[in-house]
């Protein structure tokens, strides 16, 4: 049930695809929160100028080069967190950013989990969870209903314009039609009251 290390020990783009539909589980203070992953982004290695690993090995990026199946959580704009899973072989600085989940368990029905910052806030993920092993009973991923290829949509990654050509690569993946994807490609029409 829990995704094994072999799941993560593949190229980031492959993991980003396979992560769609899986469940992100985080337990803290006796509270269990679960979200179904509906949107991801692959950061494929040190040669990928959008990937933090392109800055080289630093105290912050070291975890990206470490063994697969660990959490990479960082602080962005001083107030939000982004949750990634480290992928590929040890020595390859790559990861997959989880950009949105659909509430499954332990989350108020009205809480927003679309967007990397919002989902971390909703689940309670912070810098304290950086470098955690994703085999941890309190933080891991589990299998979900497989998502057929026809339901997978791809496009450029968000917020990485500084990365030049790399910003154009279609490394953002999401489940077509999900109401929980951040910045839907087809502008969500307002529900009629």
Partner DNA sequence: TTATCGATGGTA
Partner DNA sequence: ACCATCGATAAA
Q: Which residues bind DNA (CB under 7 A)?
A: 41, 43, 50-52, 55, 58-61, 72, 74-80, 82, 84, 95, 97, 112, 115-119, 127, 157-160, 162, 182, 187-190
Find residue 105's DSSP bridge partners. Answer: 34
Tokens describing residue 110? 């009205």
Residue 46 CB, nearest distance to DNA (Å)?
A: 11
Residue 171 CB, nearest distance to DNA (Å)?
A: 10
Among 36, 27, 7, 2, which residue's Cα sits nearest to residue 145? Answer: 36
Beta strand extents in 44-90 (DSSP E only): 71-76, 80-86
The residue (of 27 and 74) whose beta carbon lies closer to DNA is: 74
Residue 63 CB, nearest distance to DNA (Å)?
A: 10
Residue 113 CB, nearest distance to DNA (Å)?
A: 9
What is the Cα–Cα distance from 80 to 158, expressed in whole angstroms?
A: 16
What is the Cα–Cα distance from 179 to 188, expressed in whole angstroms?
A: 8
């Amino acid at each position: 049930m829990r995704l094994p290390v072999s799941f993560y020990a593949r190229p980031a783009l492959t993991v980003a695809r396979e992560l769609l539909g899986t469940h992100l589980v985080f337990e803290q203070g006796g509270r269990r929160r679960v979200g179904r992953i509906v949107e991801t982004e692959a950061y494929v290695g040190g040669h990928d100028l959008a990937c933090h690993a392109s800055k080289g090995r630093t105290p912050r990026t070291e975890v990206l080069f470490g063994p697969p199946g660990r959490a990479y959580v960082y602080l962005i704009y001083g107030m939000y967190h982004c949750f990634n899973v480290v992928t590929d072989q040890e020595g390859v600085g790559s990861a997959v950013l989880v950009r949105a989940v659909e509430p499954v368990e332990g989350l108020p029905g009205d809480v927003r989990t679309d967007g990397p910052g919002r989902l971390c806030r909703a689940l309670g993920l912070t810098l304290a969870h950086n470098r955690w092993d994703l085999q941890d009973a309190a933080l891991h991923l589990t299998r979900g209903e497989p998502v057929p290829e026809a339901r997978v949509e791809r496009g450029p990654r968000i917020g990485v314009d500084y990365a030049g050509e790399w910003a154009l690569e279609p490394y953002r993946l999401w489940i077509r039609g999900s109401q929980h994807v951040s910045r839907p490609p087809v502008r969500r029409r307002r529900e009629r009251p």
